[in-house]
Amino acid sequence: MRCRSKNKINIAHDSFIALKKQIVLMKKIFTIAMISVLISAGSCKKDSDFLNVPPKSVVTTDVVFSDPALVLSVLGDLYNRVLDFSSLDNGWTTFADFGESFPSDNGQYGFVQNRSWDYGTWGTWDYGYVRDLNLFIDNVTASTKLLAADKSRFLAEGRFLRASYYFEMVKRMGGVPLITQTLTYDNSGNVIGLQFPRSKESDIYDFVISEAEAIKGLLPSDPTEKSRATKAAALAMEARAALYAGSIAKYGATTPQVSLSGGEVGIPSSMASGYYTKALAAAKEIISGSAGSYKLYQVLPNLSDNFAAIFLDKSSVNQESIWVEDFKALAGKVHSFTTNDQPYSVSDEASDAGRLDPSLNLVQSFEKLDNTFAPIATKDGAGNPIYYADQQDPFAGRDARLAGTVMLPHFFWKTAYIDIWGGYLLSNGNIISSDDATHYASLPGSSAQVQVVGKDGPTPTGEPLRTQTGFYVRKYLDPATGSGRRGRQSDVNFIRYRYAEVLLNAAEAAFELGQTSDAALYMNQVRARAGLTHPLTAGDITFDRIVHERRAELSFEGHVLFDMKRWRIATKVWDGNPESLNDLTSNISSATKRNTQPWGLYPYKYYSPGSPNDGKWVFREVLPSPVTGVLNFRLGNYYSQINDGIISANPKIKRQPNQ
């Protein structure tokens, strides 16, 4: 068209100017006409179609729930939102507190300085997540295009995650409203139909247990499937939940104040044995191998290294872990646990290290190889200091899990030995030290400037980011190259359920049901793996033993708070009284031993030229100077506060007791 009109113009150019003008005018008219035709043709759609353009960035529900890959991505989001008490990607502080460790970070001294926990601490009330889980279950159920096998597995996973979250809620809040379908608001201004009262605490536990029973057959029995729900994961959840419910029923009798008349908090003691029976049955189902071949991790010859490797080995060799939160380095799913807690002297980052320091309270609780308990010896019977030739000597002959959980002084990490010592101890009792290993000082009788404190501390001034207890954490710390860098971080996975805990759950349930020889059998398997080769007899199994074994095996895995709560001994262990040195070193085997302040154990190098003890190590128990508070667990802490906003919005919700 345009070509032809150009020709016309050319002709016009050759002809008269008047004609040219006319043609130019015609061309204008022609162009305008063409544009208007185009525009009107362009608008020749129906009005409704014009506005009804399918968006390309949103996938509709029926499309998603027709393709297993898309359903899996929705499910992936729901898996990512699983709530853990201790969680590698929620910061190292979720592993701190409770007297088991000292927080060596200027911003986190509150853990050891606050007098008590707020009533709201540890609470959760995420009904948005519950709704999303219910929606997922509804949508999978309604889907017609999924294969039956896919559908039943997705459905079971949705129900597993929902039961898992209700378990997490009931542990923290007691009975909560049990919502198992999606609720719809009808815009009427009336919300009474959406307000549900709290269920009984036992009802929520019953729900978790019955859901696990219902879905276990629909989930795969595959020990290599770690990050998605399996039959073993459902059974492990059931065993733990039933055990918790059983102990709340049994030991709740010792704290009658911690209950509500409607059963929203507290479980009648008559229900205890029923729950213990269910816990034992579920645990036995895993132990018998009917959910896949799970077993204790026994690969490395060094038992401490072997214990540490449970948490590092992500290969199929690891048949101990049952359900994990998985991570992947250089792919966006990483955590900074190693960055935050790596030894200061071997740190990949100049100012990121050493935050989580296990306390002497925990270290000394690991028993000796003859099954007896003793503090770490620092003085002989006459009260004189003991001189050790090697820094690791005082810890020798103990449960291998000690060195697997905690980095002891002079531990080899990645590329070097860590350097933990508090200074030189002179024969007159004075200590020569400094606030940093690079700040030298001279020793008596010499003018030479020498290093007078370990590169990893502990310093007399309490320098943060290096140890202030004399120990670093080892569990979950990643030895891979670069794992401590902020740029790469670590991809060690977090184990939510593992076989050793299943064995301990079985042991506890069997013990509470009077089957002490079975309890000994289960417990001895876990202990033998840790090098405790003298088996316990049925008569040795006591409540104190059960409590101790869980602490030795499961510390820094998010269990301590819930264990202390369900046994109702939290108010005794964290009783609000300062912990003296005598408190610390006595009654180590007692379950109700005070644990209100984290102590440290500082090694000092003895300096006395000519003496046979010169250059040997002397250890001293030290309460780190920032520890000014005392842990005080109040009766109102047994169940976290339901905040006033929730109660105002739903008057049917009852307040927690003792708050």
Partner 1 sequence: MKIKFHHIIIFILLLSAAGCKLDNVKPPSVKLSGQLMYKGSPIGVEYNQVPFQLYQTGYKGNTPIGGTFDQDGTYSVLTFNGNYKFTIPGGQGPFQWKELPSGGRDTLNIALNGDQTVNIEVTPYYMIRNAQIAAASGKITANFSIEKVITDASAKNIQTVSLFVNKTQFVSPGDHAAEADLDGGAITDPANVSLNVTIPTFPVTQNYVYARVGIRIAGVEDMIFSPVVKVSY
Between CA 531 and CA 65 the distance in angstroms is 51
Complex with partner 1: residue 87 or 659, whichever CB lies closer: 659
Rule CB under 8 A: say whether 115 interacts with partner 1. yes
Q: Rule CB under 8 A: is residue 120 a binding residue for partner 1?
A: no
Q: How many C-beta neighbours within 10 Å does residue 359 have?
A: 29
Structure-token match 């071949």, residue found: 293
The nearer residue to partner 1, 199 or 336, going by C-beta atoms, is 199
CA 431/CA 422 separation, integer angstroms: 9
Contact (CB, 8 A) for 313 and 297: yes
Residue in the structure block whose two tokens are 């102590």: 599
Report, in Å, the least distance between residue 574 CB and partner 1.
11
Residues 80-99 contacting partner 1, CB under 8 A = none
Contact 320, 294 (CB under 8 A): yes
Q: Which is nearer to partner 1, 358 or 629 (CB)?
A: 629
Q: Is 630 in the site for partner 1 (CB under 8 A)?
A: yes
DSSP string, 187-241: SSS--GGG--PPPPHHHHHHHHHHHHHHHGGGS---TT--SS--HHHHHHHHHHH
Q: How far is the CB of 437 from partner 1 (least distance, A)?
A: 28
| Residue 372, token pair as written in the block | 């007896």
DSSP secondary structure code for residue 442 in this structure: E
Determine the Cα–Cα distance for residues 653 and 264; give it in Å rounded to an integer: 10
Least separation in angstroms between residue 635's CB and partner 1 is 5
Backbone angles phi, psi at 292, to 5 degrees: 115, 160
- SS3 call for 109: coil
CB 361 within 8 Å of CB 599: yes
Out of 123, 263, 460, 576, the residue judged to bind partner 1 by CB under 8 A: 576
Q: How far is the CB of 582 from partner 1 (least distance, A)?
A: 12
Residue 384 CB, shortest distance to partner 1, in Å, is: 24
- Give SS3 for 413: strand
Distance, in Å, from the CA atom of 617 to the CA atom of 387, rounded to the nearest integer, reads 5
Region from 180-188, 301-309, 495-503, 640-648 binding partner 1, contact rule CB under 8 A: 640-648
Residues near partner 1 (CB under 8 A), total? 23
For 239-267, b where at least 16 C-beta lie within 10 A, e where not — what string? bbbbbbbbbbbbbbeebeebbbeebbbbb
* Closer residue to partner 1, CB minimum distance, 48 or 648: 648
Contact call for residues 379 and 368 (beta carbons, < 8 A) = no
Q: Which stretch binds partner 1 (CB under 8 A): 22-30, 199-207, 281-289, 569-577?
A: 569-577
Shortest distance in whole angstroms from residue 125 CB to partner 1: 16
Tell me the closest approach of the beta carbon of residue 432 to partner 1, in angstroms. 21
Q: How far apart are CA 491 and CA 480, in angstroms?
A: 9
Residue 190's Cβ-count burial label (10 Å; 0-12, 13-18, 19+) is exposed
Q: Given the complex with partner 1, which of 438 and 648 has the nearer CB atom?
A: 648
The two tokens of residue 519 are 């309890």
**Alpha carbon distance 337, 93 (integer Å):** 10
**At 472, which helix (H) or strand (E)?**
strand 472-473
- Looking at beta carbons only, is 261 or 288 nearer to partner 1? 261
User: Which C-beta is closer to partner 1: that of 134 or that of 637?
Assistant: 637
Q: Any contact of residue 651 with partner 1 (CB under 8 A)?
A: yes
- Tell which one of 40, 190, 261, 447 touches partner 1 (CB under 8 A): 261
Closer of 145 and 652 to partner 1 (Cβ): 652
Stretch that binds partner 1, among 51-59, 297-305, 522-530, 639-647 (CB under 8 A): 639-647
Report the distance separating Cα 583 and Cα 623, nearest Å: 13
Q: Provide the strand spans (E) within 28-168.
A: 101-103
- The closest of 274, 263, 624, 333 to 469, measured between CA atoms, is 624
Minimum distance between the CB of residue 656 and partner 1, rounded to whole angstroms? 9
Looking at the Cβ atoms of 230 and 571, the one nearer to partner 1 is 571
Query: Residue 83 and residue 562: Cα distance in Å, rounded?
Result: 14
369/635 with CB nearer partner 1: 635
The whole-angstrom separation of Cα 49 and Cα 577 is: 74
The one among 515, 571, 595, 640 contacting partner 1 by CB under 8 A: 571
Rounded Cα gap, residues 119 and 481, in angstroms = 42
657 lies in the binding site for partner 1 (CB under 8 A): yes
Would you count residue 634 as binding partner 1 (CB under 8 A)?
yes
Q: Is 659 in the site for partner 1 (CB under 8 A)?
A: yes
x-marked contacts with partner 1 along 377-416 as a string, rule CB under 8 A: ----------------------------------------
Q: Which of residues 502-531 bind partner 1 (CB under 8 A)?
A: none
Tell whether residue 54 is a contact of partner 1 (CB under 8 A).
no
Nearer to partner 1, 55 or 256 (CB): 256
- Smallest distance from the beta carbon of 115 to partner 1, in angstroms? 5
Q: How far is CA 590 from the centre of its chain?
A: 26
Q: Identify residues 17-36 at the interface with partner 1 (CB under 8 A).
A: none
For tokens 């501390």, the residue is 457
From 287-295, 425-433, 499-507, 643-651, span contacting partner 1 (CB under 8 A): 643-651
Residues 577-606 that bind partner 1 (CB under 8 A): 577-578
Q: Which of 269, 277, 592, 632 binds partner 1 (CB under 8 A)?
A: 632
- Cα 171 to chain centroid distance, Å, stands at 15
Shortest reach from residue 174's CB to partner 1, in Å: 14
Stretch of residues binding partner 1 (CB under 8 A), selected from 331-339, 396-404, 452-460, 625-633: 625-633
Residue 124's contacts (CB-CB under 8 Å, 6 or more residues apart) are 83, 168, 169, 172, 173, 640
Q: Does 269 bind partner 1 (CB under 8 A)?
A: no
658 near partner 1 (CB under 8 A)? yes
Of 113 and 224, CB closest to partner 1 = 113
635 binds partner 1 (CB under 8 A): yes
Q: Measured from the CB atom, is 295 or 634 closer to partner 1? A: 634
Measured CA to CA, the distance from residue 10 to residue 20 in angstroms comes to 9
Q: Pick from 257, 430, 461, 611: which binds partner 1 (CB under 8 A)? A: 257
Overall size of the chain counted in residues: 659
Binding residues (CB under 8 A) for partner 1: these are 115-116, 257, 261, 571, 576-578, 629-630, 632, 634-636, 644-645, 647-648, 651, 655, 657-659
